[in-house]
Chains A and B, each alone.
Chain A
Amino acid sequence: MPDLRDLIDISAWNFRTGPLPERQASRADWERVGDALERGSVTLLGLWAGAGCVRLALFASGTRHVGLLSYRTDDSFPSLGRHCAAAQRPERAIRDLYGLVPEGAPDMRPWLDHGRWRMEQPLGTPRPAPPAEPYRFLTAEGDSLHQVPVGPVHAGIIEPGHFRFTAQGETVVRLEERLGYVHKGIEGLMRGVSLDRGAAIAGRTSGDSTVAYAWAFAQAVEAALAMAVPPRALHLRALMAELERLANHLGDIGAICNDAAFAMMLAQCGALRETVLRAADAAFGHRLMRDRIVPGGVAQDLSPEGAAEIRAVMADIGRRFPALVELYDNTASLLDRTVGTGRLAPDLAAAFGAGGFVGRASGRDFDTRRALPYAPYDALTFDVPVRNDGDVNARIWIRIEEVRQSLGLIAQIVDTLPGGEVRTDANLPGSARSGLGLVEGFRGDVLVWVALDPDGQISACHLRDPSWFQWPLLEAVIEGNIIADFPLCNKSFNCSYSGHDL
């Protein structure tokens, strides 16, 4: 059995404290990775391209090591999507953006490129685009099937994407997603900009995870520069990250129940979410805490009044939340909609390396804070809830449990907040370097890889949203459910469109 230990050998401590050595993969290495992905002995963390190469980040759960490989090419590379479905959309995106062709890939249709950029391969060697061909949706054949196209503009206040349902009566036979509508060209915008501007763009990749992205970006830069961040800044970052997690979980628990027509939960949870955002505003000067984490530390210190405000609001939520959990658990008409709906099988969650509550509700025991620890979480006490039932109900329960954990973490962080500085200045790299950041956002693991040139500008940056490995699973879980349950399933996943489309 091929052993990838020689390729996947970077411990969390290593990549979190210094620049990444770039390991060149041969074609044989690449093929070995494909085999290992197919067997499920390693998990895909990310797959992206750069100038004249394709890069691959892997995670081996046995050793808890990370591997970062780069395959040199100017035209094509062996497709990993042949072996691992999770790699297919990233490969389609690579082809759209860079023009590098995944050899033998099972799906050669464009993904992010809708034929509207007036050019092809904008990040490779751009060339004029030929007239766009109509997108070919996958087919479903059988008696009395009908199609329901939805989007990109949806009925609610949500992001744009297209869903093509094929249904028999009410039952969904196939759902196919078409994404890319909010592609803003973030990787292109990152090229050649300063660290400050890079941090601002990273924090706008997916607004609901602005803290997680800014932190992951800062981690990548700090690793590249082997910078030490003041302990107080690390605590404040974790405080913001937990507030973000809490706000999102509260909002989404309410919103999922609302999609089962139980509006009271939305009103109650929405009110709690609002108190979190106001506490964030009082403590950090922005409701979503945007632009507060910067390479080297945090932009703003926490005042004693801000800390007191956070304590008070957390105590209040701690008092009010249990009654809401009870309400959820005792409302049979609501459970009737959530239990057994949109079940994600554990083997699929594992094969795709699904992060966050989507993975943890389907038996995938992975949380970056635990699996690839980073300060200050290595010194904090918390549990990572995992379930195996994988339905909408399980995903709600994971989030309920994570609300409790975040409340506990916030109390610990505020109580043990060290004194001192909150920011150090970035030193100049002097040579070209790259670094990796991995942060557990509310939705799952956010990966940022950044390359710096000798004078400290960003030469390339890749930001991988957890949604890349969750969106495809939504197609799988809806199969056999009724169309009317799609909003419920979709909201229980709550994938990011913007984070995915980049």
Chain B
Amino acid sequence: MLRFLLEGLLRHPLCEPLPPSEAALANELAGAARRRLGRSLAIRAVDAGSCNGCELELHALNNPYYDIERFGIRFVASPRHADLLLVTGPVTHNMREALERTYSAVPDPKWVVALGDCALDGGCFAGSYAVVGGVASVIPVDLHIPGCPPPPAAILSALVRLLA
């Protein structure tokens, strides 16, 4: 264990600089969000029906390469502690109520980010008897991050831009 701690002290950190921006993804939103949030962002992630691919890349944000917390962004356990709801997946009928209730538990002002192609319009699950559709068909969405799943670098730069 000591060896790992020592290595951690001596070695260069693994975390990387922020990747270049994917265009003006969220510029308008960013101004408003920044005014309200300062430099901290508490995120509550909700899987509304995803295939779990998007979750894998959300997890990657916490690994030492991306280390999302260095930007003041963290994932919180309760919607009541959150500024932002990050929703993945097409919304299934079976998850619809849980999503609505989680959304209403987030205190105002709040933002919703829809993550991944499914969250936009249901992706390849659109049209199923079991799927409502994209996140916006259930709760208002402020920003969509495309990809299947979006790579962590893309998620990170979109979120950081909300604060920048």
Q: Give residues in A with beta carbon < 8 Å to B.
A: 114, 116-119, 122, 126, 152-153, 155-160, 180-186, 188-189, 197, 200-201, 204-208, 210, 251, 255, 264, 267-268, 270-271, 273-274, 277, 281, 287-288, 290, 323, 327, 330-331, 496-498
Contact partner of B77 (CB less than 8 A), chosen from A155, A180, A255, is A155
Which residues on the B side are within 8 Å of A185 (C-beta)? 125, 128-131
Contact partner of B52 (CB less than 8 A), chosen from A155, A183, A268, A497, is A497
Which residues on the A side are within 8 Å of B3 (C-beta)? 323
> A208, B129: Cβ atoms under 8 Å?
no
Q: How far is the CA of A261 from the CA of B127 in the complex (A)?
A: 42
Q: From residue 122 to 139 of chain B, which have CB atoms closer than 8 A to chain A?
A: 123-125, 127-131
Considering the complex, give the chain B residue whose CB is closest to the CB of A160: B47
B46 close to A (CB within 8 Å) = yes
> A288, B56: Cβ atoms under 8 Å?
yes
Which residues on the A side are within 8 Å of B49 (C-beta)? 181-182, 184, 498
- Given known contacts A157-B55, A160-B47, A207-B50, is B96 in contact with A184 (CB within 8 Å)? no
Contact partner of B92 (CB less than 8 A), chosen from A181, A255, A277, A290, is A181
Contact partner of A114 (CB less than 8 A), chosen from B63, B94, B148, is B94
What are 15 A-to-B residue pairs whose CB atoms are below 8 Å?
A153-B46, A158-B55, A159-B47, A159-B55, A182-B92, A182-B94, A200-B124, A205-B51, A208-B52, A251-B56, A271-B14, A273-B63, A274-B60, A323-B3, A330-B1
- Given known contacts A117-B130, A185-B131, A264-B4, is B51 in contact with A156 (CB within 8 Å)? no
Considering the complex, give the chain A residue whose CB is closest to the CB of B67: A267
Q: How far is the CB of A459 from chain B (nearest CB, A)?
A: 17
Q: How far is the CB of A319 from chain B (nearest CB, A)?
A: 13
Which residues on the B side are within 8 Å of A114 (C-beta)? 93-94
Which residues on the B side are within 8 Å of A152 (C-beta)? 95, 98
Considering the complex, give the chain B residue whose CB is closest to the CB of A496: B52
> A274, B52: Cβ atoms under 8 Å?
no
Chain B 72-96 interface 0/1 with A at a Cβ cutoff of 8 Å (1 = within): 0001011100000000011011111
Q: How far is the CB of A153 from chain B (nearest CB, A)?
A: 5
Which residues on the A side are within 8 Å of B51 (C-beta)? 204-207, 210, 498
Considering the complex, give the chain B residue whose CB is closest to the CB of A151: B98
Q: How far is the CA of A255 from the CA of B55 in the complex (A)?
A: 14
Q: How far is the CB of B93 from chain A (nearest CB, A)?
A: 4
- Given known contacts A122-B130, A185-B130, is B95 in contact with A160 (CB within 8 Å)? yes
Q: How far is the CA of A277 from the CA of B60 in the complex (A)?
A: 10
Interface on chain B toward A: helix, strand, loop, or mixed SS? mixed
Range for the number of chain B residues in contact with chain A: 35 or more
Q: Give residues in B with beta carbon < 8 Å to A.
A: 1, 3-4, 14, 45-60, 62-65, 75, 77-79, 89-90, 92-98, 102, 123-125, 127-131, 148-149, 151
> A184, B130: Cβ atoms under 8 Å?
yes
Q: How far is the CA of A290 from the CA of B52 in the complex (A)?
A: 13
Q: How far is the CB of B162 from chain A (nearest CB, A)?
A: 18
Q: How far is the CB of B97 from chain A (nearest CB, A)?
A: 8
Which residues on the A side are within 8 Å of B52 (C-beta)? 159, 206-208, 496-498
> B50, A157: Cβ atoms under 8 Å?
no
Which residues on the A side are within 8 Å of B46 (C-beta)? 153, 160
Having A181-B94, A207-B56, A270-B62, one finds 15 other A-B pairs with CB under 8 Å, namely A117-B93, A122-B129, A153-B79, A153-B98, A157-B58, A181-B92, A184-B128, A184-B130, A186-B125, A201-B124, A204-B148, A208-B56, A255-B59, A288-B56, A323-B4
Which residues on the B side are within 8 Å of A189 (C-beta)? 124-125, 127-128
